[in-house]
Amino acid sequence: MSKKHVTVAWTSGLHARPASVFTQAVAATGADVTLARPGEAPVDATSILSVMGLSVGRGEEIVLGSDDESALEQLAQLLESDLHEEV
């Protein structure tokens, strides 16, 4: 499984609406993707409750994991961009 370290740029981090946008983007890739704080156990990135449970704020680093390099790159770009430009 490949991993990619990403710094979340979204103003409100991965809470509520942004978490929903992110989990929908993950599901749209069709890939198995995990999300974790560095050094912690990964969670299923399609689960909004799991993603919100990480309590990731703006400027925090997370680790995306997947066997699909294209999905990792796409999701990393989404998280590193301004959410308001994406929706």
Listed by start position, the domains of the chain span 2-80
Catalytic-role residue among 3, 15, 37, 58: 15
Q: Which residues contact 2 (CB under 8 A, 6 or more apart)?
A: 65, 66, 67, 69, 72
DSSP 15: S
Task: Assess whether 15 carries a catalytic annotation.
Answer: yes
CATH hierarchy code of domain 2-80: 3.30.1340.10
pLDDT tens-digit profile, the chain (87 residues): 899 999 999 888 998 899 999 999 999 999 999 999 999 999 999 999 999 999 999 999 999 999 999 999 999 999 999 765 444
d(CA 47, CA 10): 19
- DSSP letters, 31-73, are S-EEEE-TTS--EETT-HHHHHHT-PPTT-EEEEEES-HHHHH
Distance of CA 43 to the CA centre of its chain: 10
